[in-house]
Amino acid sequence: MINTTIAATLVDPTKPFFSCSIIGIYFGCFGSKQRTANEYLLGGNSMKPLPVAISLTASHISGISLLGLPADAYRYGGSFLLGGICMLFVTVATILIYLPVFFDVRATSMYEYLERRFDHKTRLLASFLYVVSSLLFNPVIVYVAALAFSTATGLKVHLVVPVVCCICVFYTSIGGVKTVIWTDAFQFIFTVGALMFVFVLGVRSSGGFSEVWTKALYGERLNLFE
């Protein structure tokens, strides 16, 4: 969530943050208030498929992806695209095998399901491992994305990181999963808009799409299997 928030600011550095906070305040104080665990963690099972799908897509876009993948493709070629083949199998398996089970048990989290399937110790172990992985991985994601934000706005990185994190924690805490889904959808629009804007500028400055394709071809950037 922090990742997509920062990525969205490539279009306008201020609108995404304040708009996300407003969405959180609405769902937490004025809209469908989060009175139960089901409403807070599952959105009362009332969310539409489209915003949920957009939110899931946005959640997998990080500052590392937006900054690292273009640089990796420029340096080593487009072999990363082969990962999409694996993702297809993973997606099918998730839809047909994992999600039906998880949906039928009506668990509010994966850890609740692990406790039902095994025991409380398994739940604690899985939760502990997730916390450790988050503490090791999230600072890297936030820092890399904050570098882009700092470059675009001129603000210091050490100022950007706590401000962004506090805003994300604020609207998530008071608004629950509904706020997360709608802010992700909102941020996704900004992110895609920024990417398309950069893409158009890049193609125009390079002399057109055919010129870009020719340079990529002769520069061996399209050799996926090397």
Helices (H), 43-119: 49-59, 63-76, 83-93, 99-104, 110-117
| Orientation angle between helical segments 120-153 and 63-76, nearest 10 degrees | 70
Q: Are 37 and 224 in contact (CB under 8 A)?
A: no
Going by pLDDT thresholds of 50, 70 and 90, the confidence category of residue 100 is confident
Q: Are 55 and 185 in contact (CB under 8 A)?
A: yes
| Orientation angle between helical segments 157-205 and 209-218, nearest 10 degrees | 100
Distance CA 97, CA 111 (A): 18
What average pLDDT does range 203-212 have in this prediction?
A: 86
> Is the confidence at residue 174, as pLDDT, over 90?
no
Helix (H) or strand (E) holding 31: none
Q: Where are the domains of the chain?
A: 2-218
